A = this chain, B = another copy of it.
Amino acid sequence: MTNTGLTPLETLAAKVKEAAKVLNIASAQERNNAIERIAANLLSHEEEILAANKKDIATAKENGIAPAMIDRLALTSERIAAIAAACRQVITLPDPLGKVDFGATLPNGLEMTRVKVPLGVIGIIYEARPNVTVDAAVLCLKAGNACLLKGGKEALHSNMTLAKIMADALREAGLPAHGIALVEDTSRETATQMMRLNGYLDVLIPRGGAGLIRAVVANATVPVIETGVGNCHIYVDETADLAMAVDIIDNAKTSRPSVCNAVETILLHENIAGELLPKLKERLDQHQVTWRGCPRTQAILGEEIATATEEDYATEYNDYIICCKVVQDMEEALMHIDRYSTRHSEAIITEDYAKGQEFTRRIDAAAVYINASTRFTDGGEFGFGAEIGISTQKLHARGPMGLDQLTSWKYILRGNGQIRK
């Protein structure tokens, strides 16, 4: 506690909230100028960023962090250039603010408009990827929001340097430096405090693995948007084009297994399982995909296939592992999906019009596909230009969250003396 009665985190959050009041009403030009300044300063401070990142890498290696994670942590000249280029890409996107998305002249003559405004202050808790520090801050800024960032401790030096460069850029662009702020205390206690910053944060977005998301949902008292967990399915109907099915499943499983829109379980109609499975196995063998199957899958592919357990069906492996279940009909597939789905992305492969319609109607998920790979659930692919995550909840934002999902609304009513009877 300081002598104001605020914790250090609250003191910082109060400054961010003050900064937000200016950012929230800054013009699109002012916000874009600040983003350009951020891009330019990232490039001109490359050495400083790389030096800070080196410290993080050295500590990570001392601590025996896995090579894949060190790769995600590492910055290079090329990666910094890519981050700056991504900032400039955001400048080119249309302004999400100020749009009137609803309006009417009321019977009493009041002229009502509903206008898009910033959310205010956005908190983001994420893991050890320093590029997220810039990506997230710049998207928040483009939508007129201040942000309070808390990254993983592994990236602390990198994040401190990046946050300072961005705060300085804001100041140089004539906006308050605290519009982008980093929580430098990476303890769990401070993370929990951050989840309870009611009155300071308008929303908190966790970006990371299932454990982080669960901790935020369990502890947060501020509004949260859940992102990311994807236990995705593809159902292959008896009428499917089997060559298409092989291509789509291969793509959905192996093009990038570590991401949330990769497929985890396939459900095959019993009438095509016998013909499809050997072809599919041959294709996935090229990527050393491990199979876990139901007894009927095992009967077709042979006993070297491990038995798929309840836990397998419930797990998002994010790896070269696929679960397979042979089903009697689409109804059984729908029941399986309803039970295990995280409501992210689900697909059917079918040539039957009515089955496709029924599948899209019945599936409860952010994205439902007919005859396409689940891998398309992505802000860039959907044409949003950029995204801050993929929401798997139903409130406020569902699916890829672009700039539009980082805004709120206000009603403006212009009258000439109206009173309510």
Contact = CB atoms under 8 A, between A and B. Distances in A.
B372 A417 contact: yes
A135 interface: no
B223 A106 contact: no
A414 B382 contact: no
Contact of A393 (B223, B369, B370, B420): B223
A383 B106 contact: yes
A231 B241 CA distance: 62
Nearest to A261: B420
A419 interface: yes
A162 interface: no
A409 B419 contact: no
A43 to B, nearest CB: 28
A223 B223 contact: yes
Interface in A401-421: 408-420
Contacts of A375: 419-420
A224 B221 CA distance: 9
A234 to B, nearest CB: 12
Q: How large is the interface on A (under 10, 10 to 19, 20 to 34, 35 or more residues)?
A: 35 or more
A90 interface: no
A127 interface: no
Contact of A420 (B21, B114, B251, B410): B251
Q: How many copies does the complex hold?
A: 2
Interface in A105-132: 106, 110, 112, 114, 117, 119-120
Nearest to A216: B221
A362 interface: yes
Contacts of A361: 25
A419 B247 contact: yes
A149 to B, nearest CB: 19
Interface in A1-59: 21, 24-25
Contacts of A366: 410-411
A255 interface: yes
B419 A248 contact: yes
A202 interface: yes
Given A120-B364, A417-B372, A419-B373, A411 B395 contact: no
5 contacts: A369-B414, A371-B416, A371-B417, A372-B418, A381-B420
